[in-house]
């Protein structure tokens, strides 16, 4: 078994190091991750400039690109042997509901799934996680389940772990994505020369966050496991759109 690890927090992130240490007893591990924080990079690929990859003293490979760049390079020729599976994370912060559209962590897993490999995105529900050991335990359990009972090829897993000691994690729940309210307004400021600059505002608060959602599961102390798919087609609207279009 050969597992590729990546993330969007950068190759020095504590969550990535913890995940690599936690999975080494199960498989050969290759780490290809961004050279710096690339949070919210989504599924962007770098096409207008070359990418540079450097192997570090600990064997991790850093790439001056996005999480998607890292996984794409690793699978399509950077590594000597193609991996069998992709784990992305452990992200420093939740990826719940609408977050998956922006998340570089989920994007790294998506690229692995798009290129034909089983893929899992792992996140801690805290911006300053203290209990990475809990998420490592979850990753080991998820990996063992994938080995014992592989999932359909069009599924990737988005896993969010409460930032709690392992003894306080209540279990696992299969969940759907919740939804947030509209994002908060941009924050306007000025640079030292008096020119207007803007910071993207915080994400909106939870809106659709009742039982069955990823938001609800983690709020109750459960690990949220959401199956995602790459096909975004809304099949139940195809006939409606056919009738709506001009003749």
pLDDT in single tens digits along all 247 residues of the chain: 999 999 999 999 999 999 999 999 999 999 999 999 998 888 889 999 999 999 999 999 999 999 999 999 999 999 999 999 999 989 999 999 988 999 999 999 999 999 999 999 999 999 899 999 999 999 999 999 999 999 988 899 999 999 999 999 999 999 999 888 887 888 899 999 999 999 887 787 777 778 999 999 999 999 999 999 988 899 999 999 999 999 8
| pTM summary value | 0.91
**Which pLDDT score is estimated for 154?**
87
DSSP assignment string, the chain:
-EEEEE-SS-TT-HHHHHHHHHHTTTSEEEEEEESS--TT-TT----SS---EEE-TTS-EEESS-HHHHHHHIIIIISSS--SEEEEEEEES---GGGGGT-HHHHHHHHHHHTT--EEEEEEESSS-S-HHHHHHHHHHHHHHHHHSPPPTT-EEEEEEESS-GGG--EEEE-B--EEPPPPPPEEEE-TTS-EEEEPPPPPPEEE-STTBHHHHHHTTEEEEEEE-S----GGGHHHHHHHS--
């Amino acid at each position: 078994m050969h597992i590729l690890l990546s993330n969007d927090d950068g190759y020095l992130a504590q969550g990535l190091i913890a995940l690599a240490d936690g999975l080494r007893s199960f498989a050969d591990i290759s780490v290809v991750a961004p050279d710096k924080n690339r949070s919210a990079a989504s599924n962007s690929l770098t096409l207008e400039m070359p990418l540079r990859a450097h192997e570090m003293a600990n064997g991790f490979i850093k790439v001056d690109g996005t999480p998607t760049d890292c996984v794409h390079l690793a699978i399509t020729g950077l590594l000597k042997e193609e991996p069998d599976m992709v784990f992305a994370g452990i992200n420093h912060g939740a990826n719940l509901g609408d977050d998956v559209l922006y998340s570089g962590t989920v994007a790294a897993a998506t690229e692995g799934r798009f290129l034909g490999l089983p893929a899992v995105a792992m996140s801690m529900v805290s911006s300053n996680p203290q209990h990475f050991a809990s998420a490592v335990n979850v990753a080991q359990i998820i990996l063992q389940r994938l080995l014992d009972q592989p999932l359909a090829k069009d599924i990737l897993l988005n896993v969010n772990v409460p930032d709690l000691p392992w003894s306080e994690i209540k279990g696992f729940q299969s969940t759907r994505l919740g939804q947030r309210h509209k994002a908060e307004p941009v924050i306007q400021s000025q640079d030292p020369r008096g020119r207007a600059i803007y910071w993207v505002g915080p994400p909106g608060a939870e809106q659709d966050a009742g039982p069955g959602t990823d938001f609800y599961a983690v709020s109750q102390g459960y690990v949220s496991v959401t199956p995602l798919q790459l096909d975004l087609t809304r099949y139940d609207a195809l006939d409606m759109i056919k009738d709506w279009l001009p003749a």
